[in-house]
Structure 1
Amino acid sequence: MKMVMGYIAGLLFGLGLAISGMTDPARVLGFLDIAGAWDPTLMFVLGGAVVTSFIGYRLVFKRSGPLFGERFQLPTKKDLDAKLLGGAALFGIGWGLSGYCPGPAIASVSGLTIPLAAMLIAMVVGWFAARIVTR
């Protein structure tokens, strides 16, 4: 059941990205273009996500445990280190150059283009490189 719920959550996430237009890299790049033709759409999508998460976490943590799991799994590491900051910087650079972050990129696979394919290949290479570097 846990796997089914994960699939449903991913499907809802992808659907939300598609409906909000966040699978279009031009929207993301338009948001980052604050000196030109700025597109605030991403700000509203992110704001909606923050509000939803804020309310959702408060409702969920009133429960004694998750519906489809033994216990809540929360990150325990709280320090900022070079790996975290470097990864965040690489993520931001890739996002700014391509207009895609991993979620929208995967949700956009059905309309595969050369730039999207290049981003996905770079993302997979990055996963393997991170495993080698962090050993």
Structure 2
Amino acid sequence: MSGIRTLLAALLAGALFGLGLAVSGMTDPLRILGFLDVAGAFDPTLLFVLGGAVGTTMLLFRFVLRRPAPVLAERFQVSQLRSVDARLLVGAGVFGIGWGLAGYCPGPALVGLGVLSPEALWFVPAMLAGMALHRLLRGH
């Protein structure tokens, strides 16, 4: 029963995240590319979405971590890494380059796949292939 509750919670959280992306227009790759086009047709919408997310996290994160455990898990899984290393910088760079070229990152791409967006239909398989290649190269 616990597994079903966890799966249901994940489904609901994913649906809420997808709805938020759709309502804010972040499923449109042209909106993302417009944000990155600071010298042309700049679209600041993403800045407001990111600001809302960062503000909410800054305000509520400490209250969440005061709980003894999450509702559907035995313990919180918070990274213990406290340094910036080459692996983090390369990963962030590859993510940023892909985001800038395609206008998609994983969340909006999956939402786009759900509505059969033509861009998502090629982006998601390429993303999955990249993830598989990473696992293969890292030996996971």
1:132 corresponds in structure 2 to 136
Which of 87, 96, 118 is matched with 1:92 structurally?
96
Q: Which moved more, 1:86-95 or 1:54-63?
A: 54-63
Q: Which digits, 9 at most, give the CA deviation of each residue in 1:31-84, with x for residues without a partner?
A: 000001110000000000001111221221222221121111111233333332
1:73 corresponds in structure 2 to 77
Look up the equivalent residue of 2:105 and give its one-letter code. Answer: C
Q: Deviation at 1:2? A: 2.0
Q: Which moved more, 1:69-78 or 1:105-114?
A: 105-114
Structure 2 CA distance for aligned equivalents of residues 112 and 66 of structure 1: 34
1:36 corresponds in structure 2 to 40
Which of 13, 17, 20 is matched with 1:13 structurally?
17
Structure 2 CA distance for aligned equivalents of residues 44 and 16 of structure 1: 13
TM-score if structure 2 supplies the norm length?
0.89
4+ residue runs of structure 1 moved beyond 4 angstroms?
A: none
Q: Unaligned regions of 5+ residues in structure 1, if any?
A: none
Structure 2 CA distance for aligned equivalents of residues 72 and 39 of structure 1: 36
Q: Is the contact made by 2:113 and 2:124 (CA closer than 8 Å) also made in structure 1? A: no
Q: Which moved more, 1:93-102 or 1:112-121?
A: 112-121
Structure number with the bigger relative contact order (C-alpha 8 A, sep ≥ 6) is 1
How many corresponding residue pairs? Answer: 135
What fraction of aligned residue pairs are identical, expressed as a percent?
51
Q: Which moved more, 1:99-108 or 1:69-78?
A: 69-78
1:104 corresponds in structure 2 to 108
Q: Is the contact made by 2:35 and 2:43 (CA closer than 8 Å) also made in structure 1? A: yes
Look up the equivalent residue of 1:7 and give its one-letter code. Answer: L
Q: Unaligned regions of 5+ residues in structure 2, if any?
A: none
Q: Which moved more, 1:54-63 or 1:28-37?
A: 54-63
Q: Deviation at 1:102? A: 0.4
